[in-house]
Chains A and B, each alone.
Chain A
Amino acid sequence: MIDDCRPSTKKVLSMSDIQNKIREEAKKALESGDVSVVIGWGAGTVAFKTTPVFIDKPEDTDKLVWNPACVNNLAVYLPKMAKDSKAGIIAKPCDIRSIVGLIQERQIKRENLYIIGLGCSGVVDAFNLDSQDFHVQDVTGLDWTSDGLKVNTTNGDYTVSCSDCLRDMCGVCTNRNPAIYDVKLGEGTEPLETRACSIPEIPEERRKYWSEQFSKCVRCYACRQVCPNCYCEQCFADRIEPKWTAKKATAEEAWMFHATRAMHSAGRCISCGECERVCPVDIPIAELMREMANIVKERYDYEAGDPEQKSPVLGHYQDEDFDPAAHGG
């Protein structure tokens, strides 16, 4: 089951050890003048949340943190911040897959990056935490242990099983170690069991399911803003001419927005699940992305964020590709 998942039997560094090493590495990089900024996570207003921080002075590196609440995919900042100068980034394996994608799509250059890659045991879903015995307001610290998530609170310590607090995307993640890095810290744990899909199979029910989900959309575009793949200078959703989708938050327009975004992400999404996390109305966007990713993998043997791939899946073709024509070529 999902519960015997936390740090494997081999001796691993605790997250606070790794946090110290992160600070050291960031400090070294800034002091040497190699990078102008280090992008990482800092403590949030509450202990179970973190916030992206941009450190540009060596003495500020103590603001960097590493704990199971470091959810943000920081690669989203790179197309702007690593454009003309070298930036340091602290990245989980999924963030690194985003970075690989950005490099393949020529949005950033590898030589403009200093990557502090982390082994990962998954991150927590703050909403799931809230459903436990304690109040999230009382939380003072989080750490993975072999039994699950250790939560320090002002009223004592609790242990929460992984299945109760792990983010959905982390439960199915199979890449627990960074694919590319300049420094690697920590070791990823073994992948967990694959989660079954909860979306109906029958087309008509499926159509209903998705149109109902999309009809909740308030068009805040948080999913787009947080997505490292959505780096277009002008999004199709913001265009007046041609008007691909109107700005009004109707079900029909929302469908067009989400269907197009799914198409634009097909074969590019690395399943970090950020879109789903930031969605204020809980649309399971990541589920749709994951289904598309599975199709791409099965058909083209292509996985987004894999450094072995030379070009994006829709950026090249092979003569013997699958033929979608109903009667063949």
Chain B
Amino acid sequence: MSEETKVIDTQAEGSAKTSEWQPRILGILCNWCSYAGADLAGSARLHYPETIRIVRVPCSGRVDPMFVLKGFQKGFDAVMVLGCHPGDCHYAKGNYYARRRIALVKDLLKTLGISEDRFHFEWVSASEGNRFAELVTEMTEKVKKLGPFDGVTP
């Protein structure tokens, strides 16, 4: 558990060194599908914005809601959680549990007044490198429009 939080901490510190403001997006990716999908996007030389900082988890069922909250607390502008399509889970049903949990995190963020556009949950399989690149591009554009996240302090 500690490994992931450390990664979230260190990832939050780095910032993109370009003149235009670039959002920082925390991506929490399942090892078996989405991470492999991201890998495919890389090996296929697909272009996508360098806004995403990836934390690899063994399964979307491993995604503790606190990872997402921690991401926002540490000042990420957006958080993406990507997992295997329902029915495709390496551990048979991890993503089904994740589905309920993530739905509730999404609601909690909404309840706490964090724009829905700052959190994205999606199913991305290992063969969907294209989709991964598209999603990151889409998300980056969306968050750019929203501007930097105001943080969790008043």
Q: Which of A176-216 contact B (CB under 8 A)?
A: 200, 203-212, 214-215
Stretch at the interface among A12-20, A36-44, A83-91, A240-248: A240-248
Q: Does A11 contact B (CB under 8 A)?
A: no
**Given A288-B111, A314-B97: A207 and B69 within 8 A (CB)?**
no
Which B residues lie within 8 Å of A263 (CB)? 65-66, 69, 104-105, 108
Interface size on B, residues (CB 8 A): 41
Chain A residues numbered 286-300 whose CB sits less than 8 Å from any CB in chain B: 288, 291-292, 295-296, 299-300
Contact B86 A329 (CB under 8 A): yes
Minimum C-beta distance from B75 to chain A (A):
9
Interface presence of B56 (CB below 8 A): no
Does B104 contact A242, Cβ atoms closer than 8 Å? no
**A314 and B121 contacting across the interface, CB-CB below 8 Å:** no
How far, in Å, is B115 (CB) from chain A's closest CB? 5
Please, how many angstroms separate the alpha-carbon atoms of A211 and B114 in the complex? 11
A122: shortest Cβ distance to chain B, in Å?
A: 26
A317 is contacted by which of B5, B65, B93, B111 (Cβ under 8 Å)?
A: B93
Instruction: Check A295–B154 contact: CB distance below 8 A.
Output: no
In the bound complex, how far is the Cα of B72 from the Cα of A214, in angstroms? 15
Whether B86 and A256, one on each chain, are in contact in the complex, defined by CB atoms closer than 8 angstroms, is no
Given A259-B69, A260-B66, A263-B66 in contact, is the A211-B153 Cβ separation under 8 Å? yes
Q: Which residues of B contact A (CB under 8 A)?
A: 1-2, 4-6, 65-66, 69-70, 73, 85-86, 93, 96-97, 99-108, 110-116, 120-123, 150-154
Residues on A lying within 8 angstroms of B by beta carbon are 200, 203-212, 214-215, 236, 241-245, 250-253, 255-256, 259-260, 262-263, 266-267, 288, 291-292, 295-296, 299-300, 313-314, 317, 319, 321-327, 329
